[in-house]
Chain A
């Protein structure tokens, strides 16, 4: 990144809030002579005082008969809590163009490494490109090949399980995801209430149970179902019977296992 040979040529930072933006950088000054000469006395790093207001601050300022090459530059939001928009801009005194703009949360940094700008989070990790995060619609379509998936986005994919629970026969929750309550409605019947409802009653509910024994007397076998006419967008009941003749008897399993897939 170059700064032209005039005091009107500047690289500036525009801050939007009363945070604590620490700015530093280093540059090489080269004369405009032929051949150009590196100015050995003008290579000191720029270390600015903390910017604690919304303001426009000069970082690098040109000088007559010289060209400055910015080797690296860092901006860090040293504030404990206040976020701040930072805009890097170049001006020649007449035109001002934005180089890059981002929001620095507390502890975050924007760094120019001589070739590109990188946004780091408070832990020093590089932000991925927000623009390439798959949207809910893209996740639900499941066809994009040029988007990355965020943890939130996983939940939107039609192949992801939206709600699951492992429960005991008293409706005690052993493990769950997206469940707000379990109701022991009676022997062999469990009602699951879903935290984030499905968009309709047309979702897939899978139910299985742990059998009470490994021997297969008909009284030990267990057959489980989505209970008739109980599928609702926000809840579903499941039931369990044995295989005794002539009418199966509704019975508790050892544990319930329920998982649901569909659109929310």
Chain B
């Protein structure tokens, strides 16, 4: 097969609940039969194209995102490259931004998730320290455990004004 490269445009689709799906809509594609509204560029090679119009957009959005509330063609440069807070994306109709409440929840969720792996290890260390009579070490380990317990309630999470301030609060995975 020769080096065919599909061509796409980006569509931001707002879903129920406020989340945003980013669709890559194929406008030059390849297959053995034509999708809706498409015409052949090269029938022998199976390469088709279709215009970007309301009919195409509406049909494709309804198939890919059944709970869509609206959609907008966007430039790829609008899409944040950092996916740390991807699930907090929102679209105000003019640009993509972040829903800060969701972004904060992402931080807390990651903290809890990382804590779930870290705590058993700390529990083992604490028990070994206690068993060996090393109270000083055990107290230090307990302090670590308490920091993990308190981490989701870190006030800096609520006080962060944007995702740039939130990102350093994400635990290392």
Interface residues of A (CB under 8 A from B): 152, 155, 167, 169-173, 175-187, 191, 193, 195-196, 218-219, 234-235, 242, 244-247, 249, 252
Contact = CB atoms under 8 A, between A and B. Distances in A.
Nearest to B31: A178
Interface residues of B, number: 34
Contact of A186 (B21, B79, B173): B21
Contact of A173 (B21, B26, B114, B120): B26
Contacts of A167: 24
Given A180-B35, A186-B87, A195-B35, A171 B23 contact: yes
A60 to B, nearest CB: 38
14 contacts: A155-B32, A155-B33, A170-B83, A181-B8, A181-B26, A182-B24, A183-B13, A183-B21, A185-B65, A191-B21, A193-B64, A235-B64, A244-B116, A247-B113
Contacts of B23: 171, 181-184
Interface in B39-71: 60, 63-65
Contacts of B30: 176-178
Smallest CB-CB A-B distances: 9 pairs: A178-B31, A195-B35, A155-B32, A184-B22, A219-B173, A183-B23, A183-B64, A173-B6, A171-B24
A193 B63 contact: yes
Contacts, number: 109
A235 B33 CA distance: 16
B25 A252 contact: no
Contact of B65 (A155, A191, A242, A245): A191
B97 interface: no
Given A179-B29, A181-B23, A186-B86, A196 B64 contact: no
A40 B173 CA distance: 97
Given A170-B79, A247-B116, A235 B31 contact: no
